[in-house]
Structure 1
Amino acid sequence: MNHKLNPATIFLLVIPPLLWAGNAVVGRMIHEMVPPITLNFMRWVLAFLILLPMAYRIFRRGSMLWLNWRRYAVLGLLGVGLYNALQYLALQSSSPINVTLVAASMPVWMLLVGSWFFQAKITHWQMAGASLSIAGVLVVLSRGDMAHLLALRLVSGDLFMIIATITWSVYSWLLTRGNDDDLRRHWADFLLAQVSFGVLWSAAFSALEWTVTSPVIHWNPALLAALAFVAIGPAVIAFRCWGAGVQRVGPSVAAFFSNLTPLFAALMSSAFLGETPHLFHALAFLLIVGGIILSSRR
């Protein structure tokens, strides 16, 4: 694992927050069309079908999938079965801006999980970078005015997002462990191994949702387009880039890139509303990037 950032690694780690920002916006837009847990199940079934032609060989007898099935069952539970289900559940009662605010704690949780469970040392540079990066997020959320930030109110959905953030932190650290180099060499194999178990977890959670509630799906072109986007972008592409980036620089450094998500979300909102970017967006970008640079120092 090489902790040095280079242009290729930076590109890999910028793509996921860009797609996650779109995921939060789209998830909120269709939250009345489809139940949240069912939405997660459907997106990963589509992702499974996309990956299958590229990586069907992992199901052959003797594959590393079967030799390490417990590992992939856990990765599938955390990264596929739980994380996005909790995010979509949070968006039922919380706004995308609240969700991104809670998710801004990702670098801190990543450092703590690494220290508590994976014997990773926390450096002064990482703590300084975390403070600077979170300051950049707060600038975005406050729109340059503290009154906006003080007006924010946390709701029950934000608790789901806290659990999701911790879940993603554990998932990211587990990506760097294991003796499955054969699958790691082929990104589609590595991702399909996780998604295969993740679909099973998602199906179980979705079945529970339909048992204890009375959900309804409102099929329409907007929902179909949204499903295509969340399956291809935030699922397949973002997971592939995140996995590759984490394995290059480690979870602690990669986590700081996640704080670009609220900045991208704010810019997307500006684009949809026809607004022009403001000076505070530039300030936030400088703070977040500054946090990334500090955290990656040795």
Structure 2
Amino acid sequence: MKAPLYLVLATLFWSGNFVVGQAAVASMTPLDLTFWRWTLAAVPLLALAHLVEKPDWRAVLRRWPVLLLLSALGMSGYTLLLYTALGYTSAMNASLITAANPALIVVMAIVLLGERTTRLGWLGIGLGLLGVLLVLTRGDLQRVASLSINTGELLMIGAIIVWGGYTIIARRLGVPPIAATAVQVAMATVTLAPLALVQHVRLPDTPAEAWSLGYIALFPSLGAYLFWNLALKTTPPGTAGNYLNLMVVFTAAITLALGTPLTPVQVVGGILVVAGVLLTGLKGQPRPAPA
């Protein structure tokens, strides 16, 4: 019974990242948050990987080219896009777009890997796309034709495309997951350091900024990855992936608790996205292409 609790905690921590990140980008730059998030999490993650997985570090580091690519996509690229997007759109909208990620990954697997899905899988993809479009257009689908979509939401679309590519590549990595994550985080810290120096990345100046960065480094970066990977030891990836639907629920609950009401379009869009992901994940898993 521990695995479901671990998955719930991981998604709760990642949901908090949307809300806290949106508050933090009001006074800190996306690069500030990204650089310090991974810098503070790198050593604890490496220690956790060593204690929990006891990997052969030489074997892990032999995969450095792929790990470096994954670091650029999942740690640097996705995180910078996410925090930049939160400067233009709401945490709720960002989480709704992110909820379409499992369906997007199915599409990318079909296009890039030649995998196939079922009719229910295609129905799920369609529902998820419709839900995201409702959120992007505020219920006015004609805005798609005129490309009248918020800059932050366009950035979030870019973010989930980057994360989809990260997931497709990471599927075949063959490295213990916490060790792989820890090395990618360390690589992100090193590769972002020159840019951080040029851009004069700063530490938090106020208690509010310090608490925000502390939360981001401890819970979404360290705790969520630890709980997620511990759960994957006994939970199939497809089952675990469906827990990501809780991110929309948790983000909505946090948003409401902080006094920001949800719009009807967000509610309907969220229902369509979650329903689409459930159909894609539970009944529409892609099948490998025939040899």
Distance 1:111 1:209, change over 3 A: farther
The one-letter code matched in structure 2 to 1:236 is L
Alignment check: 8 A CA contact 1:13 1:245 kept: yes
2-structure distance, mates of 1:109, 1:272 = 30
Q: Of 229, 233, 254, which aligns to 1:268?
A: 254
Cα 1:243–1:23 shift into 2, 3 Å:
same
Secondary structure of the structure 1 residue equivalent to 2:37: helix
Measured at CA, do residues 239 and 202 of structure 1 come closer, stay the same or move farther in structure 2, by a change above 3 Å?
farther
For the residue of structure 1 that corresponds to 2:35, the secondary structure is helix
Residue by residue over 1:238-276, the C-alpha shift from the partner in whole angstroms, topping out at 9 and shown as x without a partner, is 33455567795457x765544432332111111222989
Aligned-partner Cα distance in 1 for 2:273–2:97: 18
Output aligned runs, 1:234-273, within 5 Å.
Answer: 234-242=220-228, 249-250=236-237, 257-273=243-259
Residue 72 of structure 1, CA deviation: 1.2
Q: Does 1:163 align with 2:158?
A: yes
**C-alpha spacing 1:25/1:105, structure 2 compared with 1 (3 Å):** same
Match of residue 27 from structure 1? 21
| 2:82–2:156 Cα contact (<8 Å) kept | yes
The within-5 A match list for 1:147-226 is 149-150=139-140, 154-180=149-175, 183-184=176-177, 187=178, 189-207=179-197, 209-210=199-200, 218-226=204-212
Deviates most, 216-225 or 150-159? 150-159
For residue 28 of structure 1, report the CA deviation from its aligned partner: 1.1
Aligned to 1:4: none
Over the matched positions of the two proteins, sequence identity in percent amounts to 24
Shift of 1:209: 4.0
Q: 1:293 to 1:99 in 2, by over 3 A?
A: closer
Q: Answer yes or no: is 1:42 the counterpart of 2:36.
A: yes
**Conserved? CA contact 1:90–1:161, under 8 Å:** yes
Change (3 A) 1:137 1:13: farther
Alignment correspondent of 1:112: 107
Number of the residue aligned with 2:121: 126
Shift of 1:166: 0.6
The one-letter amino acid paired with 1:265 is: T
CA distance in 2, matches of 1:20, 1:62: 28
Contact 1:48 1:196 in 2 (8 A): yes
Secondary structure at the counterpart of residue 258 of structure 2: helix
Which residue matches 2:288? none
Q: CA 1:62–1:230 in 2, change beyond 3 Å: closer, same or farther?
A: closer
Q: Any conservation in 2 of the 1:125–1:295 contact (CA below 8 Å)?
A: no
Contact 1:33 1:219 (8 Å CA) reproduced: no
Does structure 2 conserve the Cα–Cα contact (< 8 Å) formed by 1:48 and 1:192? yes
Given the alignment of the two structures, is residue 98 of structure 1 paired with residue 90 of structure 2, yes or no?
A: no
How far did residue 65 of structure 1 move?
2.5
- Secondary structure at the counterpart of residue 63 of structure 1: helix
Deviations 1:62-81 (A, max 9, x none): 61232111121112111111
Query: CA RMSD for the aligned pairs?
Result: 3.9
Give the Cα–Cα distance (whole angstroms) in 2 for the partners of residues 77 and 246 of structure 1: 24
When the two structures are superposed, what TM-score results if normalisation uses the length of structure 1?
Answer: 0.74
Gaps of 5+ in 2: 286-291
Structure 1 counterpart of 2:274, from 268, 280, 288:
288
CA distances 1:133-161 after superposition (whole Å, capped 9, x unpaired):
5667789x69xxx9x64499732222221
Residue 96 of structure 1, CA deviation: 1.8
Instruction: Give the TM-score, by structure 2 length.
Output: 0.75
**Contact kept? 1:172, 1:246, Cα under 8 Å:** no
Letter in 2 for 1:230: I
